[in-house]
Structure 1
């Protein structure tokens, strides 16, 4: 059963010698459980006019980020592990790598209406370091 949720999304990028870069938005999405995995699906808010839909799949050990639309991306995150993925735009396709430092996933349950996802990782695009990144989501079930 899908439940409507409100999501506060924030990313931070840290590059050596530069101030942190941040991006945030609030949106509505769906939260559901299927085949022993939890899913969070929402539309990203971008300023460049391309719709991008994100799905986060949590299986209890690994968080998979799937982005579809103007950008296509698949990247998994697992604590203290190196994981590989792909980032695709209309112009090019790149191999990605994440080295996850911290992964915290606390999803809404029947007895609590709030949850959060926190990921801190080093990211590489086609072998080139793009800095240290954080993703922070706050999830709140909406009353139906």
Structure 2
């Protein structure tokens, strides 16, 4: 298993009928690779609340994002499939349904940056459905 220190940039867009919200964060992280599985780990440090540890696991046709700390959730993405999970938050538990429209993944080559793009629809507590686009860019930290 190879591990590399990387710089991670995460851009999340959320869109519903009349508004669009965009959040960007940049954190140091680690990239691991073993066979057909690649893993990115990084920690979000929000202005308020506990740090959130994020682990993104990419396998052919399957991406899972596990977050622990300030929030606790595991979200699974498989193209054209719906998955369900519970999002545990300080303010209570939410039921989440995720339908993945698209997954594009490019691993990190030599001197090149990796990219994960996921476009999906998420329904929270059986009520509001929003379109989400997640773009995760990562590149080796320069010495």
What's the TM-score, normalizing by structure 1?
0.90
Question: Unpaired runs of 5+ in structure 2?
Answer: none
Is 1:50 aligned to 2:41, yes or no?
no
Q: Is the 8 A contact 1:8 1:25 kept in 2?
A: yes
Q: Which moved more, 1:21-30 or 1:45-54?
A: 45-54
1:13 pairs with 2:35: no
Rounded Cα–Cα distance in structure 2 between residues aligned with 1:76 and 1:99: 10
Q: Secondary structure at the match of 1:2?
A: strand
1 CA distance for matches of 2:142 and 2:111? Answer: 12
Asked if 2 retains the 8 angstrom alpha-carbon contact of 1:4 and 1:141, the reply is yes
User: Is residue 86 from structure 1 mapped to residue 91 from structure 2 by the alignment?
Assistant: no
In 1, distance between residues paired with 2:100 and 2:128?
14
Structure 1 spans left out of the alignment, 5+ residues: none
Q: How many correspondences in the alignment?
A: 142
Matches within 5 A, 1:26-105: 26-34=26-34, 36-105=36-105
Q: Distance in 2 between matches of 1:43 and 1:93?
A: 22
Which residue of structure 1 aligns with residue 130 of structure 2? 131
| Deviation digits for residues 55-94 of structure 1 (CA, Å, limit 9, x no counterpart) | 0001111100100001001010111111112200134222
Whole-angstrom CA distance in 2 between matches of 1:124 and 1:93: 14
Between Structure 1 and Structure 2, which shows a larger proportion of strand residues? 2
C-alpha separation in 1, matches of 2:22 and 2:122: 15
State the SS of the aligned residue for 1:46: coil
What's 1:4 paired with? Answer: 5
Contact 1:32 1:40 in 2 (8 A): yes
Give the distance between the partners of 1:86 and 1:103, measured in 2 at CA.
22
Distance apart, 1:112 and its partner CA:
4.9
